[in-house]
């Protein structure tokens, strides 16, 4: 279990809920306007600390380690429920904390969790902010703006396409720079626009290395497939929750009421992108995965374009939506370009 050092002004505690024990970071008055932060994959609540401290003092910031991350309980993940294990955890947590309504912000996979929660509890969400979120159609294995599944079994998505060396080094607690697949180098190269060397790099690396690794956690299990690239999602673990056979968040278009929706992304994001360095279709196109069947069969997933299409329909059906693109930033614009990010987000909170 990791014990990550926190910035001055951040308090931490464990909270027991009906769904498990979760580690909580907080800042601000107990009666402040609540903001709940949901972190992404292979990270923890500590990624939010600078942004929590920057919030105006009238807000109460609440960030938590999701199951299997940070100091929260190492609960298994049923991927066949999509992201619902995580969104149900969030529901139990906010109920335990007696948060009736609140602002909700999620990053990457956490953006998907925030969308899933909002689909199920739209009346609880004052505003929804998603930062470089997973596509509403999941991660990998789809094509076109409507998220058409390429293969029936979702081949090319889920745990089986995670970099095995990265998984091994993560499990071993590797802090080195000896391989491009070391967690530190992945942080520097992909979590932000390279070279992304954050002043709190050691704490961010601690957060990454706190991830529970295995078939029930990160990345999950996999199954052989007759379709390229020869591997399909299993039924357990984190990466499989975002496979298109289990994950579809496009139902957010139809919810009532519709919270104001802000989408912030880095212009140079290499993780969630229409040309993602983690998408098997794009890697195949680059010749990095053998046997690629071609763009007509397995094109790169247009992740950003899919997200925009869904959010535009959200607006057409009565929601308020804004897309903000932060230049010279990658997958973590709130850490890379804090001034630009905070200006956009705080203005949105004020308007809403």
pLDDT in tens, 281-320: 999 999 999 999 999 999 999 999 999 999 999 999 999 9
Predicted confidence at residue 224, as pLDDT, reads: 98
pLDDT in tens, 58-106: 999 999 999 999 999 999 999 999 999 999 999 999 999 999 999 999 9
Determine if the pTM surpasses 0.95. Answer: yes
pLDDT in tens, 206-238: 999 999 999 999 999 999 999 999 999 999 999
Rounded Cα distance between 187 and 198, Å, is 9
Q: Which residues of 36-54 are buried (b: 16+ CB within 10 A; e: fewer)?
A: bbbbbbbbbbbbbbbbbeb
Rounded Cα distance between 130 and 133, Å, is 6
Rounded Cα distance between 336 and 193, Å, is 8
Q: Which DSSP letter does residue 19 get?
A: T
The pLDDT of residue 1 is above 50: no
Pairing of the two strands 218-219 and 213-214 = parallel
* Cβ atoms of 59 and 129 closer than 8 Å: no
Rounded Cα distance between 74 and 85, Å, is 13
Predicted confidence at residue 239, as pLDDT, reads: 98
Q: Which domains does the chain have, with CATH numbers?
A: 11-351 (3.40.50.1820)
**Tokens standing for residue 283:** 């890697």
On average, the pLDDT of the chain sits at 97
Predicted confidence at residue 3, as pLDDT, reads: 78
Rounded Cα distance between 3 and 166, Å, is 22
The pLDDT of residue 2 is above 90: no
Please give the backbone phi and psi of residue 16, each rounded to the nearest 5 degrees, phi first. Answer: -90, 125
List, in sequence order, every residue forming a beta bridge with 64; answer none if it has no partner.
Answer: 24, 38
Rounded Cα distance between 232 and 221, Å, is 9
The pLDDT of residue 30 is above 60: yes
Mean pLDDT of 5-29: 97
Helix, strand, coil content of the chain in percent (nearest 5)? 35, 20, 45
Helices within 97-152 (DSSP H only): 109-120
Q: What is the C-alpha R_g of the chain?
A: 19
Rounded Cα distance between 2 and 11, Å, is 16
- At 188, is the secondary structure helix, strand, or coil? helix
- At 191, is the secondary structure helix, strand, or coil? helix
CB atoms within 10 A of CB 83: 28
Rounded Cα distance between 115 and 288, Å, is 32
């Amino acid at each position: 279990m990791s014990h990550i050092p926190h910035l001055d002004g951040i308090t931490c505690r464990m909270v027991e809920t009906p769904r498990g024990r979760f580690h909580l970071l907080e800042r601000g008055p107990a009666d402040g306007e609540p903001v709940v932060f949901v972190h992404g994959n292979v990270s923890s609540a500590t990624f939010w600390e600078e942004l929590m401290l920057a919030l105006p003092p009238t807000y109460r910031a609440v960030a938590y380690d999701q199951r299997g991350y940070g100091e929260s309980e190492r609960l298994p993940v049923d991927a066949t429920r999509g992201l619902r294990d995580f969104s149900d955890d969030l529901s139990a947590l906010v109920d335990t904390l007696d948060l009736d309504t609140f602002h909700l912000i999620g990053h990457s996979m956490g953006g998907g969790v925030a969308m899933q929660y909002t689909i199920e509890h739209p009346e609880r969400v004052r505003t929804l902010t998603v930062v470089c979120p997973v596509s509403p159609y999941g991660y990998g294995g789809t094509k076109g703006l409507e998220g058409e599944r390429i293969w029936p079994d979702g081949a090319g998505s889920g745990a089986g396409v995670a970099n095995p060396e990265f998984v091994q080094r993560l499990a071993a607690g590797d802090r080195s720079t000896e391989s491009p697949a070391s967690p530190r180098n992945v942080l520097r190269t992909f979590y932000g626009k390279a070279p992304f060397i954050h002043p709190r790099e050691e704490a961010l690396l601690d957060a990454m290395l706190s991830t529970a690794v295995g078939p029930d956690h990160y990345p999950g299990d996999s199954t052989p497939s007759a379709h390229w690239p020869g591997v399909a999602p299993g039924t357990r673990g984190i990466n499989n929750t975002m496979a298109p056979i289990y994950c579809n968040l496009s139902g957010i278009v139809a919810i009532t009421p519709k919270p104001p929706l802000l989408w912030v992304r880095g212009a140079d994001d290499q993780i969630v992108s229409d040309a993602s360095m983690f998408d098997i279709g794009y890697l195949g196109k680059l010749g990095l995965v053998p046997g690629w069947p071609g763009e007509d069969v397995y094109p790169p997933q247009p992740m950003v374009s899919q997200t925009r299409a869904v959010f535009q329909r959200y607006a057409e059906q009565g929601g308020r939506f804004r897309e903000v693109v932060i230049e010279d930033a990658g997958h973590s614009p709130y850490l890379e370009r804090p001034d630009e990010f905070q200006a956009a987000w705080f203005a949105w909170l004020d308007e809403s």
